[in-house]
Amino acid sequence: MTNPIIGFIGLGIMGRPMAGHLLNAGYSLVVLDKNPVPVSELVALGAKSANSPREVAAQSAIIITMLPDSPDVETVALGENGIIEGAKTGNVHIDMSSIAPASAVKMAKALGEKGVRCLDAPVSGGQVGAQNAALSIMVGGDSDLFDMMLPIFQVLGKTVTHCGAHGAGQIVKACNQIQVALNIAGMCEALVLGAKAGVDPAVIIQVLSGGYAQNRVMDVRGPKVIKGDFQPGFKSRFHFKDLNIILKTGSDFDVSLPVTTTVHKLFAELLDSGGGDLDHTGLITVLEKMANHEARLHIDK
């Protein structure tokens, strides 16, 4: 059986390796991005390029979007020369961006009226997870469509979960981003306190990683943080965007999120200081400034 043609829109830090995995798995791709470099790279590997989301949709059975924020996805899906103008009855739109749950529901309704079936399928795992095809993928939408698209998801990730109806994938991603943000803030506070009290931050990481405080953030980013390595696996400005979505979603459902609200303010300070393109663990620089103490062994200038 011939694999369906997939359109892939959004070839950034995560979209580019994800599209590459699909090509390697034998899928034909039609790709689009504002940056010509990843487009050229994928064309050299056998993909076709398109000039608009409408053109991508017209040439594809399945359209995947991997874009920064809700307005970007809504414009690509529903705007002028958007997916909705080129899609046909029976097409599938899978949005793997992290956006507001309400936007996911809105797009599913609008595209559904044109006969396009939709899944919201945000991911966790950052750049490393995308490069290693080891993403965690949380999917909202009809369960039968999820089952049909599962082979595609399995090319991209190791953990693929159907979370419920339209928007449920984005709700679970919001929950994920709460936990990650709080883990980052907790690790950074612990390092700053311990280091200012005179303990080697490498020792702190070693000890905490062997007990109940152990977490994935510490395992992956802790050694980099204490070396002052903030090359982004996931940029701070994107996590701040996610926290904005989380607080809005909390308001929509009348759920108080006091700890998330505090961490949101810390991320706002990081962005105000020019740290938006740092890895989200760059949050430690805000806490160091507050404590008037650098908790890192080496700071890259």
pLDDT value, residue 295: 85
pLDDT value, residue 184: 98
CA distance 260 to 271: 16
What is the band of 199 on the pLDDT scale with cuts at 50, 70, 90?
A: very high
Quick one: what percent of the chain has pLDDT higher than 70?
Answer: 98
Architecture of domain 6-165: 3-Layer(aba) Sandwich (3.40)
- Looking at domain 171-291, its CATH superfamily turns out to be N-(1-d-carboxylethyl)-l-norvaline Dehydrogenase; domain 2 (1.10.1040.10)
The domain segmentation of the chain, as residue ranges, is: 6-165, 171-291
The pLDDT tens digits for 87-133 are 999 999 999 999 999 999 999 999 999 999 999 999 998 888 999 99
Catalytic entry in 106, 173, 235, 241: 173
How confident is the model over 10-34, as a mean pLDDT? 97
pTM, whole model, 2 decimals?
0.91
- Tokens 């029976």 map to which residue? 90
- Backbone torsions φ then ψ of 166, nearest 5 degrees: -50, 130
pLDDT value, residue 2: 77
3-state secondary structure of 50: coil
Give the contacts of 54 (CB within 8 A, at least 6 positions apart): 81, 82, 83, 85, 86
Structural contact between residues 160 and 153, judged by C-beta atoms closer than 8 angstroms: yes
- Tokens 């749950």 map to which residue? 101
How confident is the model over 155-177, as a mean pLDDT? 97
**N- to C-terminal Cα distance for the chain?**
54
Q: Is 173 a catalytic residue?
A: yes
Name the pairing type of β-strands 157-164 and 123-124. unpaired
- Backbone torsions φ then ψ of 228, nearest 5 degrees: 70, 25
CA distance 181 to 267: 9
pLDDT value, residue 300: 44
Q: Which residues pair with 140 in a beta bridge?
A: 120, 164
